[in-house]
Chain A
């Protein structure tokens, strides 16, 4: 049972453009939503995270938008750069649970 649905599976964006990756969930007990970035041959690394009491969080060129009523959240990468080419995972945790549930990942490629 997949509790966090992520789309698209792959994404190609031109340098300087905006990359958008979407995730949806069903479990209303989820209360922490991180995004992880993974480069080839490496383990994932925490990129940015949000809690449902805010609708948006921005860190540099990376922004999470959160829609609690729609049970959706998304990652926006502004001014996308070739160095942003990686696989991105959304994830969710419900309160009192000690583990994350991950989405299926999005392979992002930024072309010159």
Chain B
């Protein structure tokens, strides 16, 4: 079982460029989440999805977009990258919500220069 797979692991973007962070899970989990982790700030929720075709904003959605066309995949799109988006991004999934436990991917470290 691969669990939650995130690609790429590292990426350097120039200001104004766009990219998609990939997230895939093979556990047939309904819920998926995108968090960003900044030093001393903990984990901030960007977007989440409770099932295919359904997405909702989290605490810090500005500058990001998501889609959920399948149960397995939940890509995060960054448009017009800014230095403030330099962070470590984590994707997580859960069977039916937080009290079933989150399974996190290993993260994508993104630097915007």
Give the complex CA separation of A36 and B42 in angstroms. 11
What is the minimal beta-carbon distance from A85 to any residue of chain B, in angstroms?
17
Partner-B contacts on A (CB < 8 A): 6, 9, 32, 34, 36, 41-46, 49, 89, 91, 93, 98-105
Task: Report the nearest B residue to A93, measured CB to CB.
Answer: B98
Give the complex CA separation of A32 and B102 in angstroms. 13
Partner-A contacts on B (CB < 8 A): 4, 31, 33, 35, 40-45, 48, 50, 58, 90, 92, 97-99, 101-102, 104-107
Query: Does the CB pair A99–B99 fall under 8 Å?
Result: no
Q: Can you list 28 A-B pairs, Cβ within 8 angstroms, ordered by A?
A: A9-B40, A32-B99, A34-B101, A36-B102, A41-B107, A42-B106, A42-B107, A43-B90, A44-B43, A45-B104, A89-B42, A89-B43, A91-B98, A93-B98, A93-B99, A98-B31, A98-B97, A98-B98, A99-B33, A99-B48, A99-B98, A101-B45, A102-B35, A102-B42, A104-B41, A105-B40, A105-B42, A105-B43
- Contacts between the two chains (Cβ within 8 Å), count: 59
| A104 contacts across to B, CB distance below 8 A | 40-42
Task: Report the nearest A residue to B3, measured CB to CB.
Answer: A43
Query: Does the CB pair A43–B42 fall under 8 Å?
Result: no
Query: Does the CB pair B42–A103 fall under 8 Å?
Result: yes
Query: Does the CB pair B99–A98 fall under 8 Å?
Result: no
What is the minimal beta-carbon distance from A103 to any residue of chain B, in angstroms?
6
Give the complex CA separation of A41 and B99 in angstroms. 25
| B44 contacts across to A, CB distance below 8 A | 102
